[in-house]
Amino acid sequence: MCLNIERRIFTDNLKGKIMQNTVNQSILPYTAKINELNHLEIGGCDTVELVKKYGTPLYVYDEDSIKTCCRQYKDAFSSYDDVEILYASKAFMTRAVCKIMKDEGLGLDVVSGGEIYTAMNSGFSMQKCYFNGNNKTFQELELALYCNVGKITVDNFYELELLDKIAKEQGKTVDILLRITPGIECHTHEYIKTGQIDSKFGFDLPQLDEAVLKVKTDYTNLSLKGLHAHIGSQVFEKDVYADLIGIIAEQYSKIREKYSLEFSEINIGGGIGVKHTEEDDPPSIYEIAGIITSSLKENIAKYGLGKLKLALEPGRSIICNSGITLYKAGSYKQVTEGRKYIAVDGGMADNPRPSMYQAKYTALIANKASTEAEETVTIAGRYCESGDILIENISLPVITAGDIICIPATGAYNYSMASHYNRVPKPAAIIVHNGHSDVIIKRESYQDLISFDVIPERLAKSDCSCI
């Protein structure tokens, strides 16, 4: 199978110039090509040689694609005066990724103490970090205030009280946003919808009045700057963002009238979809940017709102299509009068999305990149679960043990959600650029697996054998 690596061309209606499709619309990274050996190349590196050097499974990230997408976001939203683009680091976060985001001028959306610590340790400006999450711990909030995180998005009444208490103890005033559930449902998987009314995230709109009143009258160490809403992930619909902005702007108008509060910021989250298979047709970043900026300007005029900073939090759409995963084919099984399984040396522990979300992927054979498909197979993982299936019924060239199977569009949420199921070490991650490759996450060893295990002294001293 040879994936189409041609770049679609579209017209940017905002600026009247011709643009390539944006990174989220390409299954493979921008630098993907097939070389004279019929091997897949990424970032000028032969993937077969990468496997020889680093082993499998292997996460491979294309530096050019990541940087290109960051620049596409900045360019797409440049028609609006004040924009803060925050990379949603939960998609994939390492110190190297933080460094790239810093160099490209993006901020970070962080959702845990671990992500805050990684950002700090990378030399990232903490004022360009926003702290999200529905159950931030006391220790995490303390850390966020200690390192002067730029803004904290508050999800519930418990957190309002807790954050105000910590801020008083530290003698600080904290800039906050209130997260709301706007009541918008988009067509995505149930587990990654967040904007509907029945959600664990944010204040329901009927609760918003009480939350604003508490900040205004009771919580004097909290400074409310605006509202935050996120409708979900892997969103292909365009108009939902205009709907979202309209709902938030209406709330701004009501709050201004009732409480004489003028907000300075609007945060619409992220969620722009990406292309995993040829059937997927996500909107370009430029298309979405045009809808968002036009709607925001219209609603500011409609409600007579003051100047608003626009914050958005793309994650998957920046990193997903910049990454691939390389596996080595091993055993196979031909079911009598049934399908043929090809097993790889990874699976649900390094990519849980097919079993968790029924996510769909495509694949190619990296060492037979342009060879025509001859058979239909199901790519199975190595883990002890019948549901450990990466791709069902895909047409590929004949696969033999040792062939390198590449699954593209795996840069987001794969390593982030990886586990040690079956006590298998996590894979390495590398970044490629101009023919060079560098490790950004080391491959774990068996020693790493047991490094946090502790045998209690009473067991260590025991010499009893079980009968």
Complete DSSP assignment for 133-162: -SS--HHHHHHHHHTT-SEEEE-SHHHHHH
Q: What is residue 184's predicted lDDT score, i.e. its pLDDT?
A: 78
pLDDT-based confidence at residue 425 (cuts at 50, 70, 90): very high
What are the tens digits of pLDDT across the range 80-136? 999 999 999 999 999 999 999 999 999 999 999 999 999 999 999 999 999 999 999
Strand ranges inside 257-367, DSSP E: 265-267, 309-312, 323-334, 340-344, 364-365
pLDDT-based confidence at residue 191 (cuts at 50, 70, 90): very low
Average pLDDT (221-225) is 98
Task: Reply yes or no on whether 384 is catalytic.
Answer: yes
- Which residues belong to CATH 3.20.20.10 in the chain? 63-320
pLDDT-based confidence at residue 183 (cuts at 50, 70, 90): confident
Q: What is residue 390's predicted lDDT score, i.e. its pLDDT?
A: 98
Phi, psi at residue 116, to the nearest 5°? -60, -45
Average pLDDT (383-404) is 97
Q: What is residue 194's predicted lDDT score, i.e. its pLDDT?
A: 44
Q: What is residue 455's predicted lDDT score, i.e. its pLDDT?
A: 94
Average pLDDT (179-197) is 60
- Which residues belong to CATH 2.40.37.10 in the chain? 1-62+323-467
Average pLDDT (405-424) is 97
Residue 18, pLDDT above cutoff 70 = no
Residue 12, pLDDT above cutoff 80 = no
Average pLDDT (183-189) is 58
pLDDT, averaged across the chain? 92
Catalytic residue chosen out of the listed positions 129, 186, 384, 406: 384
Q: Which residues are bridge partners to 204 per DSSP?
A: 181
Average pLDDT (325-349) is 96
CATH topology of domain 63-320: TIM Barrel (3.20.20)
Provide the 10 A C-beta neighbour count for residue 259.
Answer: 15
**Global pTM exceeds 0.85:** yes
What is the architecture, at CATH level 2, of domain 1-62+323-467?
A: Beta Barrel (2.40)
Identify which of 134, 135, 70 has the alpha carbon closest to the alpha carbon of residue 99. Answer: 70
pLDDT-based confidence at residue 460 (cuts at 50, 70, 90): confident
What are the tens digits of pLDDT across the range 146-156? 999 999 999 99
pLDDT-based confidence at residue 14 (cuts at 50, 70, 90): very low
Stretch among 11-15, 65-69, 241-245, 272-276 having the lowest mean pLDDT: 11-15
* Two structure tokens written together for 90: 């939960």
Q: What is residue 185's predicted lDDT score, i.e. its pLDDT?
A: 64
344 neighbors 390 (Cβ within 8 angstroms): yes
